[in-house]
């Protein structure tokens, strides 16, 4: 099967020509935070046209699979909640766009779900039917699959809100309005506040860092910086607690951890595995804990299983 794949992320758009488990060609471009969907569609269209005319593939393309960084209704092919990005997206008729501009059927899904589909199709989830993913990055995202089927729920948010599982009900205010959510306690956006509130922040190297991100925290923690070690350990505990709740909620065989923060997978993965095996109640055995394998391309690889699911 050959399809066109689009991953509409908050900071980048990636477009690809995908044939089974192979990305034949891929192009990305950055988008401004306040970019409208209407403004980027012509650029996407141009790239997709270029990709599918490569090697005379135009006739082979069966569909366009679009991953979106917000909640979507896959049946109606509409965006239901844009989550602060592409604010016009709920009013854009993407299905009509795909028909009119590309002459292809459209399949639309949340990007965390297509990333799970991709990892199961061509990455760390191969061979598993019960899969949970958690993505550690600017926020904390994820998705869940039970018995080979994505969990979507009545309002299309089931399985995707692991970042808003409460890990500390006395904790920080979250962007969602709740208190002590996993991403309010351990994510890139909450890290500068966590650092500023750390008692050792005034004396240490971390304060001199231009940006307080996990890319600065993990190496400094390894070098013995007290504040960085405190932040790292607090985040590892919060992520561990979140993973245990995901396992209790969805009963997976495999939990796949991805996202930009996993650049420090050597420090994160063993600790997650230890925490999960010590705290998750799984009397049948142990959940397999793996690092994601496909990085930023996971959603593009998810295009084929998404189309197959919707076509059958
Ligand atoms: Zn929240």
**Centroid of ligand 1 to alpha carbon of 140 (angstroms):** 10
**Centroid of ligand 1 to alpha carbon of 64 (angstroms):** 32
**Centroid of ligand 1 to alpha carbon of 183 (angstroms):** 7
**Centroid of ligand 1 to alpha carbon of 172 (angstroms):** 9
**Centroid of ligand 1 to alpha carbon of 60 (angstroms):** 43
Residue 15 falls in which region: left (phi positive, over 0), alpha (psi -120 to 50) or beta? beta
CB contact set of 232 (below 8 Å; sequence gap of 6+): 217, 218, 221, 267
**Centroid of ligand 1 to alpha carbon of 273 (angstroms):** 24
**Centroid of ligand 1 to alpha carbon of 180 (angstroms):** 7
What pLDDT is attached to residue 204?
Answer: 61
Q: What is the DSSP string of 246-263?
A: HHHHH--SEEEEESGGGG
What pLDDT is attached to residue 138?
Answer: 85
**Centroid of ligand 1 to alpha carbon of 243 (angstroms):** 15
**Centroid of ligand 1 to alpha carbon of 224 (angstroms):** 31
**Centroid of ligand 1 to alpha carbon of 51 (angstroms):** 38
CA 16 to mean position of chain CA atoms? 18
| Nearest CA-CA partner of 110 in 235, 8, 232, 239 | 8
**Centroid of ligand 1 to alpha carbon of 190 (angstroms):** 11
**Centroid of ligand 1 to alpha carbon of 160 (angstroms):** 12
What pLDDT is attached to residue 295?
Answer: 93
Q: What is the pLDDT along the chain (312 residues), one digit of tens a residue?
A: 999 999 998 889 999 999 999 999 999 999 998 999 999 999 999 999 999 998 778 788 999 999 999 999 999 999 999 878 899 999 999 999 999 999 999 999 999 999 999 999 999 999 999 999 999 988 899 999 999 999 999 999 999 999 999 999 999 999 999 999 999 999 999 999 998 888 877 666 666 677 889 999 999 999 998 889 999 999 999 999 999 999 999 999 999 999 999 999 999 999 999 999 999 999 999 999 999 999 999 999 999 999 998 766
**Centroid of ligand 1 to alpha carbon of 39 (angstroms):** 30
CB contact set of 237 (below 8 Å; sequence gap of 6+): 275
């Amino acid at each position: 099967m050959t399809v066109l794949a689009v991953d509409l992320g908050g900071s980048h758009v990636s477009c690809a020509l995908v044939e089974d488990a192979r990305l034949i060609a891929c192009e990305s471009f950055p988008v401004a935070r306040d970019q409208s969907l209407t403004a980027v569609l012509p650029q996407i269209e141009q790239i997709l046209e270029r990709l599918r005319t490569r090697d005379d593939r135009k006739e082979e393309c069966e569909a366009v699979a679009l991953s979106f960084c917000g909640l979507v209704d896959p049946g109606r092919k509409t965006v239901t909640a844009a989550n602060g990005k592409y604010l016009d997206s709920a009013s854009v008729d993407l299905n009509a766009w795909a028909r009119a501009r590309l002459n292809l059927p459209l399949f639309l899904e949340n990007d965390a779900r297509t990333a799970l589909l991709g990892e199961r199709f061509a990455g760390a989830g191969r061979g598993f039917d019960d899969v949970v993913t958690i993505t550690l990055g600017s926020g904390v995202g994820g998705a869940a699959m039970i018995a080979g089927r994505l969990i979507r729920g009545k309002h299309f948010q089931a399985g995707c809100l692991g970042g808003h599982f409460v890990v500390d009900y006395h904790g920080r205010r979250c962007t969602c309005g709740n208190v002590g959510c996993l991403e309010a306690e351990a994510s890139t956006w909450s890290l500068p506040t966590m650092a500023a509130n750390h008692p050792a922040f005034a004396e240490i190297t971390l304060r001199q860092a231009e940006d307080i991100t996990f890319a600065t925290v993990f190496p400094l923690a390894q070098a013995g910086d007290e504040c960085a070690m405190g932040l790292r350990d607090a985040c590892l505990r919060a992520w561990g607690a979140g993973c245990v709740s995901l396992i209790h909620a969805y009963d997976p065989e495999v939990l796949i951890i991805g996202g930009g923060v996993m650049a420090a997978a050597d420090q994160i993965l063993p600790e997650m595995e230890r925490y999960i095996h010590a705290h998750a109640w799984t009397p049948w055995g142990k959940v397999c804990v793996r690092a994601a394998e496909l990085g930023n391309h996971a959603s593009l690889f998810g295009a084929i299983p998404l189309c197959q699911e919707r076509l059958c």
